[in-house]
Amino acid sequence: MLGTMTQDQFEQMRQQLIVPLAVSDILFHELKIEPDMQYGLHMALSEIDPDSALLAIALCTRDIAIKTKHRASIASALEKEASEILEDYGPKWLRHNLNAPIPSHVYEEMLDTVPEDLEALADLMDALHSDLDEEETPIAALLKLLSIQARAHMEIADFVLSEIAYEKQSDKEKSTGPSFGYASHKEEPKKVETRFVGDNIIVFPGAVQ
């Protein structure tokens, strides 16, 4: 059970983020994940912001953990991590997503811990995948897919945070002059590339080069 979140909030997140609904169907019906389905899930996750991706992945991994915790003890740790993430980010995300755009300072504050939470989920998913020792099952495919997306969004969140920090420093220099040791010209923007991993699986936004 989730702590302070209501069941209505929980279902609202699932409905708005869509991917958790698809993953729930795959798990419940034990559907085989065809390449085009993998592509669709990758694209759906890649097209949302890192904070939304974190919540979508947490909802998915929580369902996977509940289904597998009788087979692998690490699944309990994954369920706990996913549930805590949903508690930490869910109510605020829902409030702004339903009512008004999130203010930039609130978004920055929320995004600050997103990379480490995405990494924690990815590490636990990788550990669960290893403990289950499965390759050709829907759960194995989902764990691999979600881990790839978690690490991709982790890098994107880090990049966004670095850009925010740069803009703050730039604004400060305009009013006070450049600080000692800080570059006076902005470097070329880093590129966010699309990468393909395996057959028919797309990773986007991908890794920051």
Rounded CA-CA distance 117/122 in Å is: 9
174 pLDDT tier (thresholds 50, 70, 90)? confident
Residue 117 CB partners (closer than 8 Å, separation 6+):
54, 81, 85, 88
120 pLDDT tier (thresholds 50, 70, 90)? very high
Mean pLDDT for 163-184 is 68
Higher pLDDT, 194 or 114: 114
